[in-house]
Amino acid sequence: MIALSLAEIAAAVGGELRLHGADTPETTVDGVVDTDSRNIREGGVFVAKPGEATDGHLFVGKALEQGAALALVERVVDEPITQIVVPDVVVAIGELAREVVARVRAAGRLQVVGITGSNGKTTTKNMLATILRAEGETVAPVGSFNNAVGAPLTMLRVTHDTRFLVCEFGADASGQIARLAGLVTPDVGVVLMVGMAHAGGFGGIEATVKAKSELVSAIRDGGTAVLNIDDARVASMAGIARERGLGLLWFGEGEGADVRASDLRVTASGTDAVISAGETALPLHLQVLGSHHVKNALAAATAATALGVSLDDAIARLETVELAERWRMQVMGSERVRIINDAYNASPDSMQAALRTLAQITGPDERMVAVLGAMSELGEYAVEEHSKIGLLAVRLRIPRIVVVGQEARPLYLAAVAEGSWNDEAVFFEDAEAAFAYLQGELRDGDRVLVKSSNSAGLRFLGDRLGESFS
């Protein structure tokens, strides 16, 4: 965090300053801000966030031992450290992030990009950060820091030397993106797609569209909206951009895209495409598996051009990206048995894309194996959407479908009903049982997809399989 006095921090968060020791209101703090006491370093700010399993107020002493100079708390803690007391520490770190970003922006040339969408946010964020780091200091989220806590903690990492701040905005209810994006008013806002992810929380697909459009509404005056021309729901957000007088750039495979992909070809070594913008046409070899990641690369390249990066440079840097993120189409195992661990997140759209990628990269003498778990946060749509995935897996002629966990059972039942018989589709209650089965079932030439939402825990099953067949 940039240096701020205790008085400035208290004013930014609307809190009551409780000084300790030699500290005065003018004492400055410039250390890391974090909710995990283990990550605190000398001069840091510890945020005592109450949680479901424990309470951060219990760890103020531990943060002090780690070198914390200040604790942001909801009640005074009996520890020898200066504290700022606020009604809600999550709201407070958002307000602190707003203040810090505004000061850095006013003092330098910081540009902010916001990214949202039902799928692909983290991959696109990583790709864009790779492009921008060659231009100057770039701050981007670690992993999927895209919620009410993670997004502000990312924002608070900016310094006066930061050129670019890339923010990822996730949400499972209306108003959340507006709140987070409103903290920084992005110069560029990227909307990737609108699908069924989190539809249960939003209350349906139309409510999801409205929630994702909050990013376009939050772009600063004179900024640019970067929209997916191939997604009609995203394309409808152009009306908001035009009404506000924003710049508008399209990406996708459609003819009207400003940055367009064509001639896609998926292989086991990555995805090839031709990227066009105006009269320029450039080849792209993306090491990340899956044609759906070309769309993410397009979004990143288009956002980069909005920030002044040439398309040539953007593509050259995209080609250096080897992995979207851990547990996202992560290739493991060996040539003998290839494991694709894509079990960090799952929605109907990403599940379909992953299954199609498995079909595209599996050779005629190789066997497809799909290890599938639950897609979370689908609410009333859960049975229907899991059933659709079971149908697709059979129609893609995947000869071995391994379904794990009760929440995913409708997927298994649909696969059996569609004609997957003679143990082509099998069901296991948990990952341990599935692992034991796969240990004896997998053979040379198998190409294995492990796919589920984070909550299903299959990413660890993927890791075990990767190690076992390495």
Annotated binding site: 117-123
List, as own/partner pairs, every contact residues 378-385 make where C-beta atoms lie below 8 angstroms and the sequence separation is at least 24, other chains included.
378/196, 378/199, 378/200, 378/348, 379/199, 379/200, 379/201, 380/200, 381/196, 381/199, 381/200, 382/200, 382/407, 382/410, 383/410, 385/196, 385/348
Question: Residue ranges for the binding site for ATP?
Answer: 117-123
Q: What are phi and psi of 5, to 5 degrees?
A: -75, 160
- The DSSP secondary-structure symbol of 286 reads E
| β-pairing verdict for 70-73 and 83-85 | parallel
CB 219 within 8 A of CB 190: no
**Distance, CA of 213 to CA of 422 (rounded, Å):** 47
Q: Are the C-beta atoms of 237 and 231 separated by less than 8 Å?
A: no
Closest CA to 319 of 288, 290, 343: 288
Beta bridge partner(s), residue 45: 33, 70
Residue 30 backbone dihedrals phi, psi, to 5 degrees: -145, 25
377 HSE (CA, 13 A, CB side): 21
| Helix, strand, coil distribution of the chain in percent, nearest 5 | 40, 25, 40
Strand spans (E) along 193-300 = 224-228, 247-252, 259-267, 270-277, 280-286
223 sits in the region (left: phi over 0; alpha: psi -120 to 50; else beta) called: beta
Q: Which of 57, 54, 387, 55 is nearest to 46 (CA)?
A: 57
